[in-house]
Amino acid sequence: MLREKEKKARTPEKTAPRPTEKNGHGLNGYRPTEKEPFMNERQREYFRAKLLIWKDEILKEARDTLQHLQDENQNHPDLADRASSETDRAIELRARDRQRKLISKIDAALTRIEDGSYGYCEETGEPISLKRLEARPIATLSIEAQERHERRERVYRDD
């Protein structure tokens, strides 16, 4: 019973929705459309802001996790409590490692925005759909190229 209360007490609240998605509208009410020129200045600025907000959220979560791990750094006399604590710690560290890799992908996307290659498929050079970029702003491949890539991966993995 006490263990459950501890878990609830340290389980972080769900984060608020990103400002870019508030009420289904984009930043300052703007959302890119297919009707405007692809990757115009306004779209680039929109995706830059979206990526920076996402990166800030991840960094804030990382700081919160670090603080939590420092606060949680205590010796549990009970072996089961200690094992549970170590498992929780390993899971949190694994999640932070995945987010660290995500930050490098966000930084790469920001660099592509600066050099003008953002939004274009690395494999075909064709524009990546705005819907895909909205859902996955770090995408480097169009849906078709991503599907081909995943099919090739499956073929090699099955060997």
Q: What is the pLDDT of residues 112-131, one digit of tens each?
A: 999 999 999 999 999 999 99
For residues 16 and 2, is the Cβ–Cβ distance under 8 A?
Answer: no
**Taking the domains of the chain in order of start, what are their residue ranges?**
19-118
> Is the Cα dihedral 143, 30, 105, 100 positive or negative?
negative
pLDDT tens by residue, 58-69 = 999 888 887 777
User: CA 59 → CA 29, 115, 120, 135, distances in Å?
Assistant: 25, 25, 27, 20
Q: Is 19-118 in CATH node 3.40.50.1220?
A: no
The answer, yes or no, to whether residue 8 has pLDDT greater than 60, is no
Amino acid at 124: T
What pLDDT is attached to residue 41? 96
What pLDDT is attached to residue 96? 86
